[in-house]
Structure 1
Amino acid sequence: MTERTATIASRVGLHARPAAIFADAAGAMDLDVTIAYAGEPADEALDAASILSLMSLGASHGDVVVLRAGGTGAEEALEKLVKILETDHDAE
């Protein structure tokens, strides 16, 4: 299992537009990707491709989350997803 941490950069956190951008990217990957707050057990992680899961996570600006995925291409996929989370989509 590959794991990466990311800090939420969007000023409104992982809500609405940033969550939709992230969920679309995670859903387009041929991997199961999960997201959780840093320090939470892996078995409590949520589906990163689900907009409802992302909204229920309630991650705010500056929060640190952990992304996990397994399989071929997981490292590259998680790097792309980290870049999405660490971009302030509200400033665009």
Structure 2
Amino acid sequence: MPVRKAIVQAAIGLHARPAAVFVRAVTETGLPVTISKNGKPGVDARSLLEVMTEDFSCGCEVELAVAAEAIPARYSLAEAEDALEGLRLLLESAQAR
């Protein structure tokens, strides 16, 4: 299962605009990405409501994951890993602020 850990850098966490930017990027990957923290079950990172409902505050560590069996046939495992890396970089950059 491809997994990446990231530190949320948006000053307000994943709320409002930063959450929308992140969810749009996840949706564009075409992958069923989940996002979680503190070992809790992940939520669908393609859902703005689910992402905003969780408390992904500034500075918290999150885990991005895609279940290997859920990766669409058009994607290789390496492509899924690359997509998660891009999402990790987005969360840790000024773009998600």
Q: TM-score normalised by the shorter chain: which range applies?
A: 0.7 to 0.9
Q: Which residue of 1 aligns with 2:89?
A: 83
Unaligned runs of 5+ in 1: none
- Normalising by structure 1, report the TM-score: 0.87
Unaligned runs of 5+ in 2: none
Higher helix share: 2
Higher share of residues assigned strand = 1
Percentage of pairs with the same residue: 40
User: Does the alignment pair 1:18 with 2:24?
Assistant: no
Tell me, yes or no, if the aligned pair for 1:5 and 1:38 is still in contact at 8 Å.
no
The alignment covers a number of residue pairs equal to 87
Provide TM-score, normalisation by structure 2.
0.83
Larger radius of gyration: 2
Q: Shift in Å at residue 39 of structure 1?
A: 2.4
Would you identify which runs of 4 or more consecutive aligned residues in structure 1 move more than 6 Å? Answer: none
1:8 maps to: 8
